[in-house]
Amino acid sequence: MRSLFWIIATLAVCLTALHAVADPYTPTSTPVPTKTEATPPSTPTATPATTPTATPKPKDKPAPLMDDQTVQPAPVESNWHARAEKWFKSADKKERRKEMRAATKALKQSCFYCHAKGFKGYQDNLLISQQMMALSAEHGVACNECHAGKRELTELGETAQHMWKLVHKKKVFCEHCHTPQTRFAELTEAGKIFKAEGQKAQD
């Protein structure tokens, strides 16, 4: 009897252990892993944009101006009216007016800078106007290539101003030193001699 009791007791213990293992609701001591909270990605720090330093623009070189001698006619005798007439490309009056507008635009002057009111006669600067027209026609240089306003000059005009002073000094006109229709690029024999003398004086 005693041995039977121990057999029954042993079976009871085994069944209890099996029941505990098979029952999913039986609490266990194994800890349930908790969900790890994700670490938010670090926000990149914005680098402040550097404002480029503006480089100051160089000031425009002021245009050279005509001096008092430049606006004086050359002391050279010639038929300036006939030479100035060659400045016009047409004999038609309407076409000539268009050509004259190009001169007034370059000089920023009105028609009455040269013409008297009502176009009956001329102003006192008629002679130098005719000389400039002759110079333009004979050397192939347009008004706006030397003039940039009432008294302003272009780079070529500044050079021409120095030459105009020589015209007054030597009492000769441009063709004495410069070959016509070469835009002052070629010198006559007299011009070459004068240039050589000037270089010797500088040395």
Q: What is the 3-state secondary structure (H, E, C) of the chain?
A: CHHHHHHHHHHHHHHHHHHHHHCCCCCCCCCCCCCCCCCCCCCCCCCCCCCCCCCCCCCCCCCCECCCCCCCCCCCCCCHHHHHHCCCCCCCHHHHHHHHHHHHHHHCCCHHHCECHHHCCECCCHHHHHHHHHHHHHHCCCHHHCECCCCEECHHHHHHHHHHHHHHHHCCCHHHCECCCCCCCCECHHHHHHHHHHHHHHC
For the record, the structure tokens of 124 come out as 């006192």
Q: What is the pLDDT of residues 78-114, one digit of tens each?
A: 999 999 999 999 999 999 999 999 899 999 999 999 9
pLDDT score of 58 more than 60: no
The structure tokens 């010639």 sit at 78
From 157, 173, 176, select the one nearest 66 (Cα to Cα): 157
The three-point CA angle 151-153-159 to 5° equals: 130
Domain borders along the chain are: 80-162
Is the separation of the CB atoms in 139 and 183 below 8 Å? yes
Comparing 201 with 197, the larger pLDDT belongs to: 197
pLDDT score of 124 more than 50: yes
Position 68 scores a pLDDT of 72
pLDDT range class, residue 22, cuts 50, 70, 90? very low
pLDDT score of 190 more than 90: yes
Distance CA 77, CA 39 (A): 101
pLDDT range class, residue 174, cuts 50, 70, 90? very high
Q: How many Cβ atoms from other residues are within 10 Å of residue 150's Cβ?
A: 11
